[in-house]
Amino acid sequence: MNIQAKPQKTQAEQALIDTFASVFSDLPGDADVVSARDRLIGALSDNGLPTRRVESWHYTDLRTLLREIPAPSKAANARQVRPFIDGSLVLPLLDGRYVSPQNISGVTVSSYRDELMSGRAAETLKPKAADDIIGLMNSAFVMDGYVISIAPETEVGQIIELQSVQEGGQIHDRSVIDFGAGAKATIIDRQLGSGDKPGLSSALTNIKLADNAEITWIVLQEKGADDTHLGQIRAELGAGATLKLYIVNTGGKLVRQEVDVAAAGEGAHFDLRGINLLAGQSHTDITLTLGHTVPNTTSQEIIRNVVLDRARGVFQGQIRVAREAQKTDAQMACNTLLLSDEGEFDAKPELEIFADDVICAHGATVIDLDPVHMFYLKARGITEKSARSLLINGFVDELVDELENETISDALKTRIESWLETHV
């Protein structure tokens, strides 16, 4: 009988298991939550981190890339920073810990820790699939986060900034946000690294849009150069609901942002706009799974990438159209400026269609800056650095200009220009 031995655990895998043992008594939860956490860490011990042999992780071999695991953050040493947009209502998570916020009319806010202590979270502490290592890791280690409910027909006038600030170490947070029928809001989901020590973070966000809700959600990921960030957004859209999701990656050493969306109500619409600004030896991955499960739903995804130095980027986008989802209109495009011979970008757009009355398309391009355009600008006295920055700006600003809020659009352009000034 041929019995294959399990591969020896990597340093990172063993460190995660040891971390769980060291912080187990500090993790909040009732008996059901404790039992769920035990099962999860057991699964991690048995299966390890995913490798390129796992299809959904083929371009991000986590077992190889995740080499070191920092110790957990024992206290909230991080400090709240100025909001991205002045006047925003900031809901801070400081080193993964809840801070009691101000009151907002029509918005109810509480700590996810309460869900763990009461046991209400026990049923949700599980991965969504066998290859969902982010869901598994977050469920095993989560300590806190936000539970937010926005009442039906509420139009939140202020921008809400979910501000997660990490000063090194290891944090795992989870937020659950429910938007009532007809609610309207703009959320900035900001992931910040503020310390000199390497950090590991996992962040899982569950979003539910009731019928006719209209939400703009902006993920601004600004982790430190030595940080690892594993994020996951799960969203469900009711009838007539619209979710406009923007993801802007400008930092981090190893970043994976997963997006799992279900267009579950007729007339639902989903937009994804992604901007990846990649330099140094960073590795950044956006992985999307989008399910159209009912008739008359629409979606459009556009990803723009700028790759410098020895950076590597990944976009995986899978659109699934169920047999019942007639009249689906789904469009996906991934465009990359590859500005280094040592850089790399892997694009894997997919369509899985079981309905016959649909309009679906995907495409991917990889280009360098047009030498004719460069010559035109330099001939008019513009330096090569400025010319490159202008052309790159034009490539990504097109997506930013789609934002209806001009203040947010201008702030994002300033952030992009700052990154280009540093890296180009």
In this structure, the number of other CB atoms found within 10 A of the CB of residue 249 comes to 26
Q: Sign (positive/negative) of CA torsion 410, 411, 416, 421?
A: positive
> Pairing mode, if any, of strands 146-150 and 242-249?
unpaired
Distances (CA, A) of 167 to 143, 199, 250: 16, 7, 18
Residue that is written with structure tokens 């895998």 in the block: 13
> Among 32-46, 63-77, 355-369, which is the least confidently predicted range?
63-77
Output the pLDDT for position 101. 79
SS3 assignment, position 35? helix
Output the pLDDT for position 250. 97
pLDDT band at 103 (very low <50, low <70, confident <90, very high): confident
- Summarize pLDDT for 358-384 with one digit per residue, the tens: 999 999 999 999 999 999 999 999 999
pLDDT band at 196 (very low <50, low <70, confident <90, very high): confident
Strand order in the sheet with 169-179: 107-111, 146-150, 169-179, 199-209, 228-237, 254-263, 283-292, 312-321, 344-353
- Which H or E run includes 154? none
Report the chain's terminal Cα–Cα distance, integer Å.
Answer: 58
pTM, full prediction: 0.96
Tokens representing residue 278 in the block: 């990649």
Output the pLDDT for position 406. 97
Average pLDDT, the chain: 95
Return d(Cα 365, Cα 164) in angstroms, integer.
34
Output the pLDDT for position 24. 86
> Pairing mode, if any, of strands 269-278 and 359-367?
unpaired
pLDDT band at 1 (very low <50, low <70, confident <90, very high): very low
Output the pLDDT for position 74. 77
Output the pLDDT for position 72. 86
Is 17:45 a contact under the CB 8 Å cutoff? yes
- Summarize pLDDT for 387-421 with one digit per residue, the tens: 999 999 999 999 999 999 999 999 999 999 999 99
Residues 207-211, mean pLDDT to the nearest whole number:
98
Return d(Cα 366, Cα 339) in angstroms, integer.
10
- Summarize pLDDT for 71-98 with one digit per residue, the tens: 887 778 899 999 999 999 999 999 999 9
pLDDT tops 70 at residue 5: no
Return d(Cα 138, Cα 125) in angstroms, integer.
8
Residues 19-32, mean pLDDT to the nearest whole number:
92
- Secondary structure letter of residue 130 according to DSSP: T
Output the pLDDT for position 77. 86
The domain ranges of the chain are 11-265, 372-424
Residues 143-161, mean pLDDT to the nearest whole number:
96
Return d(Cα 89, Cα 123) in angstroms, integer.
31
pLDDT band at 4 (very low <50, low <70, confident <90, very high): low
- Summarize pLDDT for 293-311 with one digit per residue, the tens: 999 999 999 999 999 999 9
Return d(Cα 189, Cα 84) in angstroms, integer.
10
pLDDT band at 6 (very low <50, low <70, confident <90, very high): low
